[in-house]
C-alpha cells in the first residue's frame, strides 16, 4: 500500500523557497531502484484517456478568472444547502457494485454536477455512474478509469466548504497571474503537473509533466526561455551528490562508470572513482558530469531560462513515469512529455531551426545549443483550483501545502 500524503498548508500565496541550490536538477536517487529503471525507458508513454473536460482556453486567461468567480457562486450554493454526503471508503466501487455506498456516490456526483439528476435514485453502479465517475476523476487529475479507489474516495470526500475556500484562494492567484499576459507564453502549473504552450489566447499544446517532490519543490518562476540545449551534459549538483550519488556508490561501486558520469577536480583534471572516499562527504568537493546520450538524466534536450534557483525544463529517458498519477518526483526541475513538439514551438521563429532539423537533433546525438530568436515568456505557477468557461470545475491536490487547508493528497492504492 502506498502511504497517503497529507498536505497541511498555510494561507500564504505561493512563494516557494527552492531547496535544491544553484544547480536544481532531477535526482539520480530513483534511477536504479527498480527493474524498470527510468534510464532505460526508450519510448513515450501515451497519455491516459479521459473525458473531454478541458478546452483550448489557457489556465492563465481572463476568461478563466470569470469562470472561477462563477464557480465560487455555484459552490457557495452547494455549501449553503448542506454540501454533499460522504461516500464510505470501505471497498472499491465499480460497475456492478450495489449498496448504500453506491447510493451515496450517486448523490455526491449529482450535487457536484457530474451525474445528471434525471438518472434517478438507485443503489446500483451502472454505466451512467461509471461515466460520471470518469468525469469527476478527469476534473481532479485522477486517471479516468471509472473505478472508485483510494484516490477517488479521497477527492470525493473533501468537504464542499473546503473546495469553496480552495476556489477563493486560487481566484486571488489567477487574478495576479493573468495581469498583463503576453500573446505567446509557456505555463507550468505545478500542482497539476501540466504544461501549456499558449498563443493568442488559445492553448497550442498541453504536456504532462513531472515536477518537484514535496521536500524538493519546484519554485514559482517568472522568466523567459532563451536557449535550447540539444544532447546536453548533466552536471550533478552538490545536494544530489550528497543525498543520492554517494549512497548509490556505497551500494554499487560501478554506478558512476555504468552511467558514464565523470569526476573532475577544481583544476579540471579527471579523477577515478577509486580515488574518492565514498564513506565521507569528500565527493561533494568535485564536479560530476554525465556524458550526453540515451542514458543521460536530461534525455535529448534541455530548455534553459534565467532563474535564481537554477531550475530548467528537460526531456527524460524515463517515459513511463508520465503515466503515473502522482508525478512529484523531481528535485525541482520539470520533465516534459512530448518535449520535441514544445521545442519546435519555441524555436519556430529562430532561423535555421526548422522541424526537420530539430528532429535530426534527437537522432544524431550532437551537442548543440540554439539561442531562441524571440525569448518566450515562462511562468511556473501554483494553481490548485480553477474552472473552464463551460463551467467544468477543476481541483488538484495542494501538494506543497500552500492553500491554507487540510486536504488529503493520496497516492493511488491498488489494494483497496
Cα–Cα distance, 187 to 195 (Å, whole number): 6
Nearest alpha-carbon partner for 315 in 365, 390, 352, 260: 365
**How is residue 77 written as a grid cell?**
450554493
- Hey, which bits of 248-300 come out as E strands? 261-264, 270-271, 287-290
Cα–Cα distance, 125 to 96 (Å, whole number): 5
**How is residue 139 written as a grid cell?**
476534473
Helix (H) or strand (E) holding 331: none
Q: Ramachandran region of residue 311, left (φ > 0), alpha (ψ -120 to 50) or beta? A: beta
What CA dihedral angle connects 382, 388, 391 and 394, to 10 degrees? Answer: -30
Cα–Cα distance, 167 to 179 (Å, whole number): 18
The separation between CA 342 and the C-alpha centre of its own chain, rounded to angstroms, equals 16
Q: Which positions are catalytic?
A: 314, 333
Cα–Cα distance, 69 to 97 (Å, whole number): 37
Residues 6+ apart with CB under 8 A from 33: none
Distances (CA, A) of 231 to 42, 46, 297: 15, 23, 11
As a whole number of Å, the end-to-end CA separation of the chain is 9
CB atoms under 10 Å from CB of 55, counted, come to: 13
- What are the backbone dihedrals phi and psi of residue 406, each rounded to the nearest 5 degrees, phi first? -110, 100
DSSP bridge partners of 406: 8
Grid cell 580515488 is found at 275
Amino acid at each position: 500500500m502506498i502511504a497517503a500524503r497529507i498536505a497541511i498548508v498555510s494561507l500564504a500565496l505561493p512563494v516557494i523557497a527552492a531547496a535544491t541550490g544553484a544547480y536544481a536538477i532531477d535526482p539520480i536517487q530513483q534511477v536504479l531502484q527498480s527493474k524498470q529503471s527510468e534510464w532505460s525507458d526508450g519510448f513515450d508513454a501515451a497519455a491516459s484517456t479521459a473525458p473531454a473536460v478541458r478546452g483550448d482556453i489557457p489556465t492563465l486567461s481572463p476568461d478563466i478568472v470569470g469562470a472561477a468567480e462563477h464557480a465560487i457562486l455555484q459552490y457557495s450554493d452547494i455549501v449553503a444547502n448542506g454540501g454533499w454526503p460522504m461516500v464510505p471508503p470501505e471497498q472499491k466501487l465499480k460497475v456492478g457494485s450495489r449498496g448504500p455506498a453506491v447510493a451515496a456516490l450517486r448523490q455526491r456526483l449529482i450535487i457536484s454536477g457530474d451525474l445528471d439528476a434525471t438518472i434517478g435514485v438507485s443503489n446500483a453502479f451502472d454505466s451512467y455512474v461509471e461515466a460520471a465517475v470518469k468525469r469527476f476523476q478527469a476534473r481532479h487529475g485522477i486517471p479516468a478509469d471509472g473505478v472508485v479507489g483510494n484516490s477517488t474516495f479521497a477527492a470525493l470526500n473533501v468537504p464542499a466548504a473546503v473546495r469553496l475556500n480552495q476556489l477563493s484562494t486560487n481566484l486571488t492567484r489567477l487574478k495576479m497571474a493573468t495581469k498583463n499576459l503576453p500573446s505567446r507564453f509557456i505555463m507550468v502549473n505545478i500542482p497539476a503537473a501540466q504544461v501549456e504552450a499558449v498563443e493568442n489566447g488559445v492553448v497550442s499544446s498541453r504536456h504532462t509533466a513531472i515536477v518537484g517532490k514535496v521536500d524538493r519543490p519546484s519554485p514559482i518562476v517568472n522568466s523567459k526561455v532563451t536557449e535550447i540545449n540539444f544532447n546536453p551534459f548533466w552536471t550533478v549538483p552538490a545536494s544530489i551528490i550528497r543525498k543520492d550519488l554517494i549512497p548509490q556508490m556505497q551500494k554499487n561501486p560501478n554506478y558512476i562508470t555504468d552511467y558514464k558520469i565523470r569526476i573532475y577536480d577544481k583544476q579540471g583534471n579527471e579523477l577515478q572513482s577509486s580515488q574518492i572516499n565514498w564513506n565521507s562527504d569528500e565527493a561533494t568537493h568535485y564536479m560530476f558530469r554525465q556524458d550526453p546520450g540515451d542514458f543521460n538524466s536530461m534525455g535529448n534536450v534541455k530548455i534553459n531560462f534565467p532563474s535564481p534557483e537554477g531550475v530548467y525544463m528537460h526531456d527524460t529517458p524515463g517515459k513511463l513515469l508520465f503515466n503515473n498519477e502522482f508525478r512529484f518526483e523531481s528535485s525541482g526541475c520539470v520533465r516534459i512529455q512530448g518535449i520535441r513538439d514544445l521545442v519546435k514551438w519555441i524555436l519556430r521563429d529562430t532561423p535555421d531551426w526548422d522541424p526537420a532539423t530539430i528532429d535530426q537533433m534527437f537522432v544524431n546525438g550532437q551537442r548543440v545549443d540554439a539561442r531562441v530568436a524571440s525569448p518566450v515568456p515562462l511562468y511556473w505557477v501554483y494553481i490548485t483550483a480553477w474552472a473552464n468557461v463551460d463551467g467544468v470545475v477543476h481541483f488538484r491536490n495542494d501538494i506543497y501545502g500552500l492553500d491554507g487547508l487540510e486536504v488529503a493528497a493520496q497516492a493511488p492504492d491498488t489494494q483497496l
